[in-house]
Amino acid sequence: MDNRVILSQYFAENSKRESLVEKETETGNYYVRVKSEFGTWFVTMFTSQQEAEDYAEDWIDGIKT
Q: List, in sequence order, every residue forming a beta bridge with 24; answer none if it has no partner.
A: 4
Name residue 31's amino acid: Y
d(CA 41, CA 57): 15
pLDDT band at 57 (very low <50, low <70, confident <90, very high): very high
What confidence score (pLDDT) does residue 60 get? 94
Long-range contacts, stretch 29-34, CB < 8 angstroms, 24+ apart: 31/4, 32/56, 32/59, 34/59, 34/64
First to last CA, the chain: 25
Greater confidence (1 vs 2) lies with 2
Predicted confidence (pLDDT) per residue in 9-18, tens digit:
999 998 899 9
Q: What pTM, to 2 d.p., does this model score?
A: 0.87
